[in-house]
Amino acid sequence: MPLAPRPVLRSAPATRVVVVVMDGLRADLVGDPRFPELAALRAESAHTLDATTVLPAVTAAAMTSLLTGVTPAIHGMDTDKFRVPRPRFDLTPLPRLIERAGMPTFGAMGQVPWIFRPLARRLVAQLGMRDVVFAGANAHALIAASMPALRAQRSGFALLHWPEADALGHAHGWLSRPYLAAVQRMDHALGALRRELAAQDHDRTLLVVVADHGGGGRVPTHHDSAHPLDATIPILLHGAGARPMVLAAGHTLLDVPATVLWALGIDVPTWYAGSPIAAPFAGVVADAITRPPVALAVA
């Protein structure tokens, strides 16, 4: 599998990366005046509203790709049913790579029914997340549950997954009133998160806001297709010296895990399918170099 050129850091731009996954957020809503926090972040960030997710465009596949850096064909989570993945070769999950570099990791995700909690904890352990809270089903509850860790953990990696827009999209349809109300709540929570990060005066925190998929493409209440409304996602980078700009075309969800490691100064594994989004960090990157092609041995 040939590798794209990797930019080389003069110094890591971030000491902490906070990734917020707004589950099911349509890219065409970022900038909509009904959601002022997302609109403000768009204006102040390096961003694309034309990135693509993995296929199938479902949460289980996308979140596993986010935490492994590879496609569903490689990590094995290729349906919307969460289960312990069986990758085609040994993968070291993103959080584990960060912990090996001596940095902490943290995750906050929606509460799951008690009968599924053992599986949920097994899954997050398999994907390398050690410190995880399951709290509520909306972004405000998850922000409240995340605040102690965000205030104590000033380095490393934090992953916040906000599920409510996806749940209401399935129940009522994308762009329905309940769905848009859920996006509005996520927008408010994003404002609370940004205010907290600003209050910490921590200019080396990189905030990454992304969706795992869109929705309402081929089916009004689903997103499992290659339709542009299902497969197109936003990616926004703010802080840690990232200059506001519109990113070049062609970025994918798989560029996000590569960017997380790169921003923290950690080598991006050769098996990663994506490349770091380095263009916004003018002044901290050297010229790109090309690594020799690497063949992956797969089972």
- How far apart, in whole angstroms, are the C-alpha atoms of residue 212 and residue 27? 10
pLDDT (tens digit, 0 to 9) for every residue of the chain, 299 residues total? Answer: 444 444 444 458 999 999 999 999 999 999 999 999 999 999 999 999 999 999 999 998 999 899 999 999 888 877 666 555 665 557 889 999 999 999 999 998 876 554 445 655 666 666 667 778 778 778 999 999 999 999 999 899 999 999 999 999 999 999 999 999 999 999 999 999 999 999 997 789 999 999 999 999 999 999 999 999 999 999 999 999 999 999 999 999 999 999 999 999 999 999 999 999 999 997 655 444 333 333 333 33
CB within 8 A of 2, min separation 6: which ones? 293, 294
H or E segment and range at residue 164: helix 164-172
Q: Are strands 132-134 and 156-162 parallel, antiparallel or unpaired?
A: unpaired
Is the entire prediction scored with pTM above 0.85?
yes
- How far apart, in whole angstroms, are the C-alpha atoms of residue 206 and residue 90? 29
- How far apart, in whole angstroms, are the C-alpha atoms of residue 222 and residue 169? 7
CATH fold for the domain made of 16-263: Alkaline Phosphatase, subunit A (3.40.720)
CA distances (Å), origin 219, targets 36, 99, 225, 241:
28, 40, 9, 40
**Three-state secondary structure readout of 199-217:** HCCCCCEEEEEECCCCCCC
Contact of 60 with 67, CB cutoff 8 Å = no
Backbone torsions φ then ψ of 11, nearest 5 degrees: -155, 145
Backbone torsions φ then ψ of 242, nearest 5 degrees: -70, 125
Residue with tokens 């609370």: 192
